[in-house]
Amino acid sequence: MALDRTTAAGLLAELVTQRTLSGDPVPQRSSMDAVVSVLSARSTGIAVEGDRDGPHPWLLITNDAPPTAARLMFACHVDTVPAGDLSNWQFDPFAADIENGVLRGRGTSDMKAGLVAATAAVLEAFENGVPAALLLTSDEEIGSLGALAARHAVAECSVGAVVVPEATGNQVHLGHRGALWVDVTTKGIAAHGSTPQRGESAIMKLVDVLARARDELPLSTDAFLGAETFNVGMIDGGSAPNIVPDTAHVVVDHRTVGDGSTLLSWWRDQPEVDRVEARIDLPGVRTPGGNRWIDELPQSVAPEPVTYFTDASIIAAAAPGAPIVVWGPGTPALMHAADETVALEELDAAITAYTAVTRAWPTVD
Within the chain, where are the H helices?
5-17, 25-42, 113-127, 145-155, 202-216, 261-269, 292-295, 312-318, 344-360
- Per-residue b or e along 264-292, where b marks 16 or more CB atoms closer than 10 Å to that residue's CB: bebbeebebbeebeeebbbbbbbbeeebe
Active site residue 79: yes
Q: Which of 80, 64, 72 is nearest to 31 (CA)?
A: 80
From its phi and psi, is residue 279 left (phi > 0), alpha (psi between -120 and 50) or beta?
alpha
How far apart CA 325 and CA 172 sit, in angstroms, is: 6
How far apart CA 365 and CA 359 sit, in angstroms, is: 15
Contact between 101 and 344 (Cβ < 8 Å): yes
Cα 325 from chain centre: 13
Q: Which of 158, 168, 59 is nearest to 109 (CA)?
A: 168
Strand partners, 173: 326
Tell me the one-letter amino acid at 344.
L
Q: Please pick, among 139, 140, 272, 311, the residue that the annotation labels catalytic.
A: 140
Please state at what angle helix 5-17 crosses helix 113-127, rounded to 10 degrees: 130
Q: What's phi and psi for 326, nearest 5 deg?
A: -100, 120
∠ at Cα 51 (147, 67), nearest 5°?
Answer: 75
Contact between 248 and 186 (Cβ < 8 Å): yes
Contact between 125 and 118 (Cβ < 8 Å): no
∠ at Cα 50 (2, 110), nearest 5°?
Answer: 60
Contact between 153 and 60 (Cβ < 8 Å): yes
∠ at Cα 278 (246, 199), nearest 5°?
Answer: 10
Active site residue 140: yes
Which residues are identified as catalytic? Answer: 79, 140
